[in-house]
């Protein structure tokens, strides 16, 4: 069966990617909104970007208030700056929060309304030219047709999508990730791993997504422990940047499954960073899905060197669980209890979180049928003592 495969129109990656991409930046527009965070704006990559766009004759105003995962309020503030300055394009330099904010601003700039109006809808309208420059290796937002924005009125993390949300230009320079803090390196790296595993085992998987997802799994298991311990390792940083892009392209076309569906409510209600909440859930969710597709989970285990080719699919798949547990331990991922979340509050919200997870649609992509009762049980198991 024929399947489409979507990616950004222009992708520039590797050392000196920013300079190589200037021909595409030149055609992006004449007046850009630059979206960053307060720490990113002080870095040399940001200085280099500002210098280049000035040289190209592009006017810009800077919104540097990305301080956490994006909310509708953050989007509205950035949109106000976009409109007041007559912008015609958007550039985002930062992690997934900056890139997701860019996409949401693009939607509202050209389509109007408020961002919650687009929950459950597919964005088809043409958006401003969007350029994504990731400073983390994990979210894959530079290649996806999705943005996740928290509705501050309902406490729901809204997944909003459409082909037009894919950035027009992705500039991926691994040197931009070198200053990424250790905890963010772990969170985003495990987010990318979740993307890779989920897309490979999704009902919507296809040969092209399988190829990218397996490659991303292999790169992450080999290189995430290295960059977690030594963020200055340029070779490992490059491998993680490639893996994040591969995994992002894979979920862009095969989607995510139960982990992401369950992760978003934890982030919305308890403000756990997205990559960390994914990592907290990963072992239990994959253990649940395992018997739905032993051969596929086994293939991942063999690809990363956790199992031998001669071992049965079931044995190999079980070894993947052990490898995930070990990697999360190396990256010092806490349980929900260790994170400081009140057990009483958490348990009281499980039913609502399970409903939110199912409404997102992501669990339905899981290779195995998922019920509300299944989700409730996993939420209970992951809390920890």
pLDDT digits (tens, 9 = 90+) for 96-143: 999 999 999 999 999 999 999 999 899 999 999 999 999 999 999 999
SS3 90: strand
If we measure between CA atoms, which residue out of 325, 331, 330, 304 comes closest to residue 316? 304
- Degrees to nearest 5, angle at CA 165 with 159 and 167: 130
Please check whether residue 90 is in contact with residue 105, taking contact to mean a CB–CB distance below 8 angstroms: yes
Contact 202, 196 (CB under 8 A): no
Helix (H) or strand (E) holding 315: helix 313-330
What's the Cα-to-Cα distance from 231 to each of 18, 137, 335, 349, rounded to whole Å? 21, 12, 24, 37
pLDDT band at 68 (very low <50, low <70, confident <90, very high): confident
Contact indicator for 142, 248 with CB cutoff of 8 Å:
yes
pLDDT higher than 80, residue 172: yes
Query: How crowded is residue 153: how many other Cβ atoms within 10 Å of its Cβ?
Result: 8
The per-residue pLDDT of the chain, averaged, comes to 96
The average pLDDT across 287-314 equals: 97
Separation of alpha carbons 314 and 200, rounded Å: 17
Residue with tokens 């290649």: 143
Q: What are phi and psi of 364, to 5 degrees?
A: -65, -20
What is the share, in percent, of the chain residues with pLDDT greater than 90?
96
Q: Please provide the size of the chain in residues.
A: 385
Q: What is the pLDDT of residue 73?
A: 97
Give all domains of the chain, ordered by start, each with its CATH number.
Answer: 10-177 (3.40.50.1970), 182-382 (1.20.1090.10)
How many CB atoms are closer than 10 A to CB 346?
A: 19
**Average pLDDT estimate for 315-343:** 96
What CA–CA distance (Å, rounded) separates 221 from 197? 12
For the segment 193-237, what is each residue's pLDDT rounded down to a tens digit?
Answer: 999 999 999 999 999 999 999 999 999 999 999 999 999 999 999
Residue from 176, 144, 201 nearest 44 by CA: 176
Which whole number is the average pLDDT over 243-262? Answer: 97
How far lies 149's CA from each of 8, 100, 118, 212, 270, in Å?
21, 7, 11, 26, 15
Among candidates 259, 250, 251, 247, which has minimal Cα distance to 223? Answer: 247
Query: What are the tokens at 211?
Result: 């190829």
Residue 273 pLDDT class (50, 70, 90 cuts): very high
User: According to the model, what pLDDT value does residue 385 have?
Assistant: 62
Among residues 217, 180, 179, 184, which one has the least CA distance to residue 198? Answer: 217
* Beta partners for residue 63, in sequence order: 35
Structure-token match 């293939």, residue found: 299
Res 59 pLDDT > 90: yes
Kindly tell me if the per-residue pLDDT of 1 is higher than 80.
no
Three-state DSSP class for residue 146: strand
Give the max Cα distance, the chain: 64
pLDDT for residue 120: 85
Q: CA torsion angle for 362, 364, 370, 375 (degrees, to 10)?
A: 20
259 closest CA partner among 147, 346, 363: 363
CA-wise closest residue to 61 among 31, 37, 26: 31
pLDDT tens digit string along 361-385? 999 999 999 999 999 999 999 997 6
Q: Residue 326: its pLDDT value, please?
A: 98
CA atoms of 274 and 187, how far apart (whole Å): 8
Mean pLDDT across 23-40: 96
Structural tokens at position 144: 């996806």
Contact 136, 180 (CB under 8 A): yes
Average pLDDT over residues 51-68: 95
- For residue 17, give both structure tokens: 């990617």
- Residue that the structure tokens 């540097």 belong to: 64
Ramachandran category for residue 137: left, alpha or beta (phi over 0 → left; psi -120 to 50 → alpha): beta
What single string gives the DSSP state of each residue in 99-114? HHHHHHHHHHHHH-S-
Whole-number pLDDT of residue 155: 87
């Amino acid at each position: 069966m024929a399947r489409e495969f979507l990616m950004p129109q222009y992708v520039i990656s590797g050392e000196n990617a920013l300079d190589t991409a200037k021909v595409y930046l030149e055609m992006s527009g004449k007046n850009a909104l630059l979206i960053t965070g307060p720490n990113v704006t002080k870095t040399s990559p940001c200085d280099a970007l500002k210098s280049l766009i000035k040289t190209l004759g592009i006017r810009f105003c800077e919104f540097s208030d990305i301080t956490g995962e994006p909310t509708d309020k953050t989007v509205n503030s950035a949109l106000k700056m976009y409109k007041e300055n007559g912008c015609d394009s958007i550039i985002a330099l930062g992690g997934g929060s900056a890139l997701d904010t860019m996409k949401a601003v693009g939607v509202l700039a050209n389509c109007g309304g408020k961002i919650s109006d687009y929950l459950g809808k597919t964005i088809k309208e043409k958006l401003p030219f969007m350029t994504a420059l990731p400073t983390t290796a994990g979210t894959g937002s530079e290649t996806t047709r999705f943005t996740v924005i928290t509705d501050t009125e309902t406490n729901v993390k809204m997944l909003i999508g459409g082909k037009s949300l894919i950035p027009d230009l992705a500039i991926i320079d691994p040197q931009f990730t070198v200053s990424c803090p250790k905890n963010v390196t772990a969170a985003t790296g495990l987010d990318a791993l979740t993307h890779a595993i989920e897309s490979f085992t999704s009902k919507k998987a296809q040969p092209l997504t399988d190829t990218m997802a397996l490659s991303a799994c292999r790169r992450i298991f080999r290189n995430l422990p290295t960059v977690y311990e030594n963020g200055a390792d340029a070779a490992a940083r490059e491998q993680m940047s490639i893996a994040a892009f591969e995994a992002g392209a894979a979920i862009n076309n095969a989607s995510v499954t139960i982990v992401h569906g369950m992760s978003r409510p934890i982030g919305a209600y308890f403000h756990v960073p997205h990559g960390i909440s994914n990592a907290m859930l990963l072992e239990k969710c994959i253990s649940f899905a395992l018997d739905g597709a032993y051969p596929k989970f086994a293939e991942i285990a063999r690809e990363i060197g956790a199992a031998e080719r001669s071992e049965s699919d079931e044995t190999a798949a079980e070894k993947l669980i052990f490898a995930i547990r070990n990697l999360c331990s190396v990256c010092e991922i806490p349980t929900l209890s260790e994170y400081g979340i009140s057990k009483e509050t958490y348990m009281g919200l499980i039913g609502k979180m399970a409903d939110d997870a199912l409404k997102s649609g992501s669990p339905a992509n899981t290779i195995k049928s998922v019920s509300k009762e299944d989700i409730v049980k996993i939420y209970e198991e992951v809390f920890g003592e």
